Structure 1
Amino acid sequence: MKPVALLWQIALETAALVDAQAHQLREQQAIVDHITDGLLVVDRDGVVKHLNAAAGRILSLVPAESVGRKFSEMLDFEPIIAPILASGVGYQDRELIIDSPRRHLHLIDTAVPIEDRHGRVISIVNSFREIQRVRKVADKFNGSHARYTFADLIGQSEALLRAVDAAKKAARGFANVMLLGESGVGKEVFAQAIHNASERADGPFVAINCAALPRDLIESELFGYAPGSFTGARKEGRPGKFEAASGGTIFLDEISELPIDVQAKLLRVLQEREVVRVGDSRGIPIDVRLISASNRDLRAMSRLREFREDLYYRCNVIGINLPALRERPSDIPLLTNYFIAKYAGLLSRNVFGFSPEALERLHRYNWPGNVRELENAIERIVNLTEHPLVQLSDLPDELQDLVAPMAHAADPQNTISVPAVAPRSLHEVEREAIVAMLQHCGFNVTATARRLGISKPTLYAKVREHGITLERGPRAE
């Protein structure tokens, strides 16, 4: 081949190689710029070699103007990656909170040192993402979401429809909501439905039962803790439930069980809209809507100084009373059919409904455990019955033991002799029974309600109705 032709061939091959390299470089640039994580590369002198679009958005820097400049000179805080140049030790998935005059950053950060063949760090590749994006991904896998909507609230009674209407109106706003009602009425179902009907539906829903949290861990569970804040704490610290719920809704069930000192901190969190972790002094901004619930009379508790009055008003901006099942008996057939279909399908059982006698017995029962007790009873029945229609004999013992009204009226052997005393009203007898039991239990409301066979909210209501003063006294032996 002639020299000219050879040179021409080399030139063509070189041009093709340059074009291929340029094309590959453009592909790599496009990949890096479209990564949703922030990506930063600095050399040994701390000069920016690359800054992608996501990093520019997070750090409020223009990528094209940042390359070739010292990274530290563009910030109003000391770069956390600077010590890696000397130590050569990187890190992975470290939580990073930065508060500076111009920035508040809450990131998950990874830094990887790049060394030459002599082991000297020549550059650092730094990737980071905002904590909110991390939480959204985690929420998809850890169950921090709401499953129920208003369509899952079964019933057509006036009492239930009033509560649903109030909850739908509450869902349209941003105010804190308090759900009041006995155990088992479906407070968490209402809370999830409010969340799913609100503008926060795409955010997390975090539910906490305050009564289930250990006393010495309540504060750290709710508000998180800083590294090394107490014995046994994770060395890198941990965010609390309020941070996990940021951008969404947090549901505090049985809020009445929070200790007074934790109530004070919760009040501050709601007022300042920021969380200070245990062992730290920095405030972390949060955007959370609170839905709380209680089966106790918080107003009465505040009078007894067992619950902070200011926290009560802060939580109870919109208060919704949820009816007990005995207050909406017309909903029992609807609920019964719904639960029968649910558990018969799950268990592949041919159970299709209740006999008239069995359904009548369900109506007569008081259901102290409300909808939860009804659901549990039907799940048990579907598991054990051998009948396509549930019979009276299939019912749990507490339903079978009910005495039919007037069953012994015609039997002279069952006649009850009434002592010859002046008759008293039912109202008077009820008041005397409550006062006597309170005195016997040393004015322990929980024990009194249990012995009377009623719930604590019902007892508090009757105490107010009868004008009874709750005192403190020794419990009778």
Structure 2
Amino acid sequence: MMGGKMSGVNGVVEEIHQVFDEFSESGQVIPMENFKYFHELDLVWDLFSVLVDEGEVSLAIYDDEKLVVIRGSGHVPDSLPSSPNNQIEPVRVQADSGLLLIWRRSVHTRSLALLVSIPDDGMARQNDKALLALGKTGIHLVAQAFYVHWLSRRVRQSVRERDVVSGLIGDGLLVLDQSGFLRYINDLGKKILRIDDERQKFRDLLGFEPVISDVFQRREGYVDRKVIIPVKGVNTSLTDTAIPIMDDHGAIVSVVNIFRKLAPEQALAEQSIKKEMGVRIVAIMGESDTVKNMKDYALQVARSTENVLIYGEPGTGKSLLAKAIHGESANKERHMMVVDCARLSVHEFESHVLSSRAVRGEPGWVLNSDISGASDVATLLFEGIDFLPISTQLRLFSALVAYRQLEQPAGVSGPPRLRIMASVSDAIGVIIQEQRLHPKLHGFLSEMNILAPPLRSREGDLPRYVASFLQQEAAGAAESAVSGKLLRFLGKQAWVGNLVQLRFVVRELLRSNAGSESDRRMIGKVEEIMGVSHIPFHFSVQNFERLSMSEAEKQAIYLALQAMDFNLSRAAQVLGISRPTLYSKMKKYKLGQ
């Protein structure tokens, strides 16, 4: 034990954390300039009290060379001369009163120092090695305390800014552990789901196994999925986003869920099953060899009547590519029926797209007559087909096989055969590796395959996209609004969201009126937009076909912090991870910086 406190350095660090959590819980925010380190110096003194008696040393903490707080009766200077920070060994200064040992640390442009004053007759010199070790530990605790407080303030500031942008305050939020128990649910979530006692399994509360339980097995979340759940005996339509949270070993320990209740007019499945006309191949922008090869092959695909599977990373324009294939086909004068699989609940898909009936005397599944019998439709496109549960994929496969085998009665005219097309939400290698598409359905659809290439492989096309997006987002804008230096910077980015992410960055630059600023400030603005990824969840489907795991985890951590009023201990507990893991993830995703 050290001075009656918790034992060990970990115990001292935990005390620092608890102090800041108390500030968070009470709503008290200490301005950085008023942060006085009283508690931190007491903790450091507890360390030194193991080695020396009170009166043998005096301790002091300095912030940017100025004395902040002192412990002991010995003489200490009011300020320190500047010297290099983060040195392994302390600076030794022989003063009239005795020896001064100074340890320094730099934390986010602030210079912190711990001073130990030892009188000439002090006994501490006899334990020089232990004293040096305690000094290193002491300055580490001071620096960590400052960093925790600084991080807490920045997180609060960042979240306030994001509240304005994201509009997530109106969402229900819950966190489930691997056993299906609720770790946390906010007040709006309780109201939407009509939950009074959250200390139960989610299945027991709502009477069914939620869709999100599959996230633990598939290791893949989803964004803005339409679900229908029974709430007090009444089916309720929600739009739902599930984000898996991983520990340091890559194991999923919890799932964060963000959901909102759909208004009656939004809940109509017809909004996710609609007729569209095709476009010409020239609507696909790009002059790189990669894009030209894709266009040439798309024209070959358009002349065929075989089934087509379109794949590619999120945001690469798979929907536009599908419209172009239909628009260049012999049936371009008729519609293409688009089924948005990600937005339909399982119940809606199996009641509006499929029908359960006997096929050749056996129970089976067929396409709904409103789809198979539409005379003005030539192509049936399933967007994001990998979002369907595997059981539903098998039912769809049975229905498509039955449709293909269905013979037209002699002498009876009917609608022409539908061409079947489908798109998946990622590169085909990812889809296969994560087993998100049943092999039978995959084989049926992939009579012809076509790739929508990622932005990074479309060499030379990025300036064209930027100019086009500028013209579309702001009337009168021209390519000259973006300098060559900024274009080169944009060309070096990874663009995990591809064209959709690029368009979002251009839109945010225009909204921030950054066009008149210097290249340096413009590049900084782009880094900020891409770094924080503050894309609202209710815009996610139109902005990203599917968030990457890291982007989704970043959003989930932010929301958990917000829900816990930025109490870092409680947020870590709710997410099922340790505090150091939470710190590591916050640093990784630049939350609060």
If the TM-score is normalised by the length of the shorter chain, which range does it land in? 0.3 to 0.5
Q: Which has the higher contact order (CA 8 A, sep 6+)?
A: 2
Q: Name the structure with the higher strand share.
A: 2
TM-score by length of 2: 0.38
Pick the structure with greater CA Rg.
1
TM-score by length of 1: 0.46
